């Protein structure tokens, strides 16, 4: 009996040499660290250097999150990943009306340079790689990070990390957009140019499929829609006059790792191969680094269950193994209790220990691409690649990623797949342990970590003190200069940096751009 993969592709019960009839290893595989990078982006992969163990964390105030970061570093985390609260993600200050009830709940509240300074207090930014999951206001948070580094005496050229800065997927799957697509893409290109000149080691974008997968995208949809967005960003930068090899080496990606291990490994390998060929053949990239698809992976939060949460320990371990066997450059492992609440210190530490066991107690790091030549995985890689390319062609026929977004294509495809998954789960055709099979008679009590409801009041007080103490005339002048840059063609980041240094708030800076660029309203709510 032939089963179907998560993407609806056939999975044969037995594979043999016939599965790869006519297959050309030199063309499809290559060598590790060489075009088309199917086998990984470095010749030695984990045999030479482990992936970055990057735990996603942030809640409440900057001081509370700073304490969590320090503990994670003490436990062996090799990279930080900042979770911002919803108001910060939407470019609102904590005392703004839309922020009420959301301050500090799903991430840390950052309103100004003062908060960013506290967030990284005592953390040497020249020795820690930091990823920031922020999109519409990405430029603002990036500049705040640079200003804190400057206060620490750290040259911007030494900073390493990533700013997500991927607004296109917000229109598709997540919803934390601010400006319409046109100005948003311009802002992305401005970040590329700014970092090229001042922060050359910084990854200027992390094109994200993770959030699409969490919304219900299949592995094929996740890769196709993410790479289509990546192509849109490359075209935007080229249209702004940049050379592909000046910015493409700093592009990065962000994917999910599910429990369907074989298909996930195939997905990662196919994605690398597709991106390498697109960058070389369509955009004429010459630098091998421009053709490398480097990516961060997070284990699949959508697959975690509130029922029997300890079973999530097994799920996360399998998902993390899929990411490692697929060749990820950095990894975040979800805590087992995240389907219930924010992770506790204990569960966050255990999630990190999962990665450390894989790295130090297994042999998966001993050899590069251990699945290479597997009849099953190589056939699945080819199948995923063909399906992804077919979906990418449909997007091109619609006019590219932005036109397809405006037509609702990606969102509609994801919603249909999410409905299919829900229907199969409810019918029992898709087994979810502890939910529709193997249920427990009674759940053990669990005490979740709950954000302090007083965070909003404390942040409001901090903002009042900041506005009373700063030089209001300097702030007003800087925001006026920012609006003028947004009205013209100048890079908006230098005047934005001046405003933030004068202690303008995140909300004030984003509001200045809202005044010029407006806000995005989806077609389905017009």
DSSP string computed for 293-315? --EEEEE-GGG--SSSGGGHHHH
Helix (H) / strand (E) containing 133: strand 129-133
- Note whether 466 and 521 are same-domain residues: yes
Phi, psi angle pair for 132, to nearest 5°: -120, 120
Contacts with 2 (C-beta within 8 Å, 6 or more apart), sequence order: 10, 11, 12, 13
Helices (H) and strands (E) in the chain, counts: 22, 11
* Res 116 pLDDT > 60: yes
Q: Is residue 15 part of a domain?
A: no
Q: Give residue 526's pLDDT.
A: 53
Phi, psi angle pair for 84, to nearest 5°: -100, 150
Query: Can you point out the beta strands (E) in 295-388?
Result: 295-299, 330-332
SS3 21: coil
Q: Give residue 451's pLDDT.
A: 74
- Note whether 419 and 463 are same-domain residues: no
* Res 450 pLDDT > 60: yes
Domain residues for 489?
458-525
Query: How many Å apart are CA 334 and CA 340, to the nearest integer?
Result: 12
Write the pLDDT tens digit of every residue in 219-235: 999 999 999 999 999 99
- Note whether 404 and 512 are same-domain residues: no
Computed from CA positions of residues 257, 69, 313, 420, in that sequence, does the dihedral angle turn out positive or negative? negative
Q: Give residue 525's pLDDT.
A: 58
| Cβ pair 167, 188 in contact under 8 A | yes
Write the pLDDT tens digit of every residue in 368-383: 999 999 999 999 999 9
* Res 206 pLDDT > 60: yes
How do 10-11 and 295-299 pair as beta strands? unpaired
Number of residues written out for the chain: 526
Query: How many Å apart are CA 333 and CA 147, to the nearest integer?
Result: 30
- Note whether 151 and 210 are same-domain residues: yes
SS3 327: coil
Q: Is residue 469 part of a domain?
A: yes
Strand partners, 11: 3
Helix (H) / strand (E) containing 141: helix 138-151
Q: Is residue 462 part of a domain?
A: yes
User: Angle formed by the axes of helices 409-426 and 375-397, to 10°?
Assistant: 140
* Res 313 pLDDT > 90: yes
pLDDT average, residue stretch 116-124? 97
pLDDT average, residue stretch 137-141? 98
**Of all residues in the chain, what percent carry a pLDDT higher than 70?**
99
Range name among 70-84, 350-364, 394-408, 505-519 with the lowest pLDDT average: 70-84
Quick one: CA torsion of 166, 171, 175, 176, rounded to 10 degrees?
40
Q: Give residue 150's pLDDT.
A: 97
- Note whether 124 and 175 are same-domain residues: yes
- Note whether 165 and 266 are same-domain residues: yes
pLDDT average, residue stretch 140-153? 98
In terms of pLDDT, which residue wins out, 55 or 182? 182
* Res 300 pLDDT > 60: yes
pLDDT band at 341 (very low <50, low <70, confident <90, very high): confident
Query: How many Å apart are CA 481 and CA 490, to the nearest integer?
Result: 11
Q: Is residue 416 part of a domain?
A: yes
* Res 442 pLDDT > 90: no
Q: Give residue 51's pLDDT.
A: 97
- Note whether 417 and 497 are same-domain residues: no
pLDDT average, residue stretch 254-281? 98
| Cβ pair 161, 131 in contact under 8 A | yes
- Note whether 299 and 419 are same-domain residues: yes
Among 402, 426, 450, the domain-final residue is: 426
DSSP character string of 207-224: EE-HHHHHHT--HHHHHH
Q: Burial, 18: exposed, middle or buried (Cβ in 10 Å; 0-12, 13-18, 19+)?
A: exposed
* Res 445 pLDDT > 90: no
| Cβ pair 123, 165 in contact under 8 A | no
- Note whether 314 and 462 are same-domain residues: no
> Domain of 207: which CATH number?
3.20.20.240
Neighbours of 526 (CB within 10 A): 5
Query: How many Å apart are CA 56 and CA 69, to the nearest integer?
Result: 9
Residue with tokens 């994670």: 72
- Note whether 278 and 409 are same-domain residues: yes
pLDDT average, residue stretch 93-109? 95
Specify the DSSP class assigned to residue 284: -
Among 377, 406, 426, the domain-final residue is: 426
Q: How far is CA 456 from CA 100, 105, 309, 462, in A?
A: 8, 10, 30, 10
pLDDT band at 1 (very low <50, low <70, confident <90, very high): low
Query: How many Å apart are CA 90 and CA 230, to the nearest integer?
Result: 22
pLDDT average, residue stretch 124-146? 96
Among 378, 408, 426, the domain-final residue is: 426
Write the pLDDT tens digit of every residue in 485-513: 999 999 999 999 999 999 999 999 999 99
Quick one: CA torsion of 18, 24, 25, 26, rounded to 10 degrees?
170
How do 3-4 and 10-11 pair as beta strands? antiparallel
pLDDT average, residue stretch 418-447? 91
pLDDT average, residue stretch 290-312? 97
Q: Is residue 224 part of a domain?
A: yes
Write the pLDDT tens digit of every residue in 413-424: 999 999 999 999
Q: Is residue 191 part of a domain?
A: yes
**Of all residues in the chain, what percent carry a pLDDT higher than 90?**
91
- Note whether 357 and 283 are same-domain residues: yes
- Note whether 420 and 471 are same-domain residues: no
Q: Is residue 444 part of a domain?
A: no
Q: Which two tokens stand for residue 108?
A: 């840390």
Q: Give residue 112's pLDDT.
A: 98
Domain count for the chain = 2
Query: How many Å apart are CA 505 and CA 92, to the nearest integer?
Result: 9
Q: Is residue 443 part of a domain?
A: no
């Amino acid at each position: 009996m032939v089963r179907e993969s998560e993407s609806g592709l056939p999975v044969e019960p037995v594979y043999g040499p016939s599965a790869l009839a006519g297959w050309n290893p030199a063309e499809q595989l290559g060598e590790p660290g060489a075009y088309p990078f199917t086998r990984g982006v470095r010749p030695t992969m984990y045999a030479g250097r482990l992936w970055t163990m990057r735990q996603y964390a942030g809640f409440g105030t900057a001081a509370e999150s700073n304490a969590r970061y320090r503990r994670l570093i003490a436990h062996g985390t090799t990279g930080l990943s900042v979770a911002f609260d919803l108001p910060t993600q939407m470019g609102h200050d904590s005392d703004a009306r839309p922020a009420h009830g959301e301050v500090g709940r799903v991430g840390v509240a950052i309103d100004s340079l003062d908060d960013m300074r506290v967030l990284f207090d005592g953390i040497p930014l020249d020795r820690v790689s930091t990823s920031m999951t922020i999109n519409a206001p990405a430029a603002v948070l990036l500049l705040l990070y640079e200003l804190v580094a400057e206060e620490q005496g750290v040259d911007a050229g030494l900073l390493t990390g990533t700013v997500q800065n991927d607004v296109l997927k917000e229109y598709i799957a997540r919803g934390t957009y601010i400006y319409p697509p046109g100005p948003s893409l311009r802002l992305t290109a401005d970040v590329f140019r700014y970092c090229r000149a001042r922060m050359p080691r910084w990854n200027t974008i992390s094109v994200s499929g993770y959030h699409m997968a969490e919304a219900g995208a299949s592995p094929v949809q996740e890769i196709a829609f993410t790479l289509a967005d990546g192509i849109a960003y490359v075209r935007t930068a080229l249209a702004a006059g940049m050379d592909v090899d000046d910015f493409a080496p700093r592009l990065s990606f962000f994917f999910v790792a599910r429990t369907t291990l074989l298909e996930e490994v195939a997905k990662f390998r196919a994605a690398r191969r597709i991106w390498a060929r697109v960058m070389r053949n369509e955009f004429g990239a010459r630098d091998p680094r421009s053709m490398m698809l480097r990516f961060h992976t997070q284990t699949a939060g959508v697959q975690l269950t509130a029922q029997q949460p300890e079973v999530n320990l097994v799920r996360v371990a399998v998902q993390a193994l899929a990411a490692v066997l697929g060749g990820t450059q950095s990894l975040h492992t979800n805590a087992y209790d995240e389907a219930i609440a924010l992770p506790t210190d204990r569960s966050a530490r255990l999630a990190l220990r999962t990665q450390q066991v894989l790295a130090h107690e297994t042999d998966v790091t001993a050899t590069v691409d251990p699945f290479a030549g597997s009849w099953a995985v190589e056939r699945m890689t080819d199948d995923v690649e063909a399906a992804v390319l077919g979906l990418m062609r449909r997007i091109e026929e619609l006019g590219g990623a932005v036109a397809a977004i405006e037509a609702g294509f990606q969102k509609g495809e994801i919603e249909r797949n999410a409905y299919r998954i829900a229907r199969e789960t409810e019918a029992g055709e898709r087994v979810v342990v502890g939910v529709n099979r193997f249920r427990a008679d009674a759940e053990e009590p669990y005490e979740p970590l709950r954000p302090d409801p007083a965070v909003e009041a404390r942040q409001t007080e901090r903002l009042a003190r900041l506005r009373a103490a700063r030089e209001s005339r300097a702030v007003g002048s800087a925001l006026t200069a920012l609006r003028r840059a947004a009205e013209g063609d100048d890079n908006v980041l230098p005047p934005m940096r001046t405003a933030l240094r004068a202690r303008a708030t995140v909300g004030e800076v984003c509001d200045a751009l809202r005044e010029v660029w407006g806000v995005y309203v989806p077609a389905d709510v017009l």
